[in-house]
A and B are shown apart, each in its own frame.
Chain A
Amino acid sequence: MTLERFRAKWIPVRVKKTRQNKNLELRSDSIRTDYALVAPSVELLKPIEDRGGAAQPLLQVSGLTKHFPVRGGLFSPRQTVRAVDDVSFSIAKGETLGIVGESGCGKSTTARLLMHLMTRDSGEILYDGMQAGGALSLRELRRCMQMVFQDSYASLNPRLTIEESIAFGPKVHGMAEAAARALARELLGKVGLRPEVFANRYPHEISGGQRQRVNIARALALSPRLVILDEAVSALDKSVEAQVLNLLADLKREFELTYLFISHDLNVVRYISDRVLVMYLGEVVELGPVDRVWDSPAHPYTRALLAAMPSSDPDRRTEIPPISGDPPNPIDPPAGCRFHTRCPFAEPLCAEATPQLTALDKLGHQAACYMVIPGSGHSHAGAPHQGGKIK
Chain B
Amino acid sequence: MLAYIARRIVYVIPIVLSVALVCFLLVHITPGDPLIAVLPADASQELADQMRAAYGFDRPLPVQFGIWLWKAVNGDLGNSIATGRPVLTEVIRAVGNTVMLAIAAAGIGFTLGLFFGLIAGYFRDSWIDKVATSIAIAGVSLPHYWLGMVLVIIFSVQLGWLPAVGAGPGGSTAWSWDWEHIRYLILPAITTSVIPMGIVTRTVRALTGDILGQDFVEALRAKGLRERGVFRHVIKNAAPTAMAVMGLQLGYMLGGSILIETVFSWPGSGLLLNSAIFQRDLPLLQGTILVLALFFVILNLLVDIAQAAIDPRIKRS
Q: Residues on A close to B: CB < 8 A?
A: 73-76
Contacts and interface: CB of A to CB of B under 8 A. Distances in A.
Nearest to A76: B3
B82 to A, nearest CB: 46
B6 interface: yes
A182 to B, nearest CB: 44
Interface residues of B, number: 5
Nearest to B3: A73
Interface string B1-19: 0011011001000000000
Contacts of A76: 3
Interface in B1-55: 3-4, 6-7, 10
Contacts of B3: 73-76
A76 B4 CA distance: 12
Interface of B: 3-4, 6-7, 10
A330 B312 CA distance: 24
Nearest to A73: B3
Given A73-B3, A74-B10, A75-B3, 6 more contacts: A73-B4, A73-B7, A74-B3, A74-B6, A74-B7, A76-B3
Contacts, number: 9
Contacts of B10: 74
A73 B11 CA distance: 13
Nearest to B317: A73
A331 to B, nearest CB: 15
A75 B7 CA distance: 10
Contacts of B7: 73-74
Interface pairs A-B: 7 shortest CB-CB: A73-B3, A74-B7, A74-B3, A74-B6, A75-B3, A73-B7, A74-B10
9 contacts: A73-B3, A73-B4, A73-B7, A74-B3, A74-B6, A74-B7, A74-B10, A75-B3, A76-B3
Nearest to B4: A73
A378 to B, nearest CB: 41
A47 to B, nearest CB: 48
Contacts of B4: 73
A83 B17 CA distance: 40
Contacts of A73: 3-4, 7
A90 B35 CA distance: 78
A74 B10 CA distance: 10
A73 B3 CA distance: 7
Contacts of A74: 3, 6-7, 10
Contacts of A75: 3
A76 B6 CA distance: 13
B91 to A, nearest CB: 34
A75 B6 CA distance: 10
A74 B6 CA distance: 8
B145 to A, nearest CB: 42
Nearest to B6: A74
Contacts of B6: 74
B190 to A, nearest CB: 45
Nearest to B10: A74
A74 B3 CA distance: 7
B315 to A, nearest CB: 13
A4 to B, nearest CB: 56
A213 B40 CA distance: 82
A76 B3 CA distance: 10
A17 B29 CA distance: 76
A45 to B, nearest CB: 46
B10 to A, nearest CB: 7
A74 B4 CA distance: 8
A186 to B, nearest CB: 43
B12 to A, nearest CB: 14
A73 B4 CA distance: 8
A73 B10 CA distance: 12
A199 to B, nearest CB: 35
A75 B2 CA distance: 11
B225 to A, nearest CB: 32
A73 B316 CA distance: 12
A379 to B, nearest CB: 43
B152 to A, nearest CB: 50
Nearest to A75: B3
B196 to A, nearest CB: 34
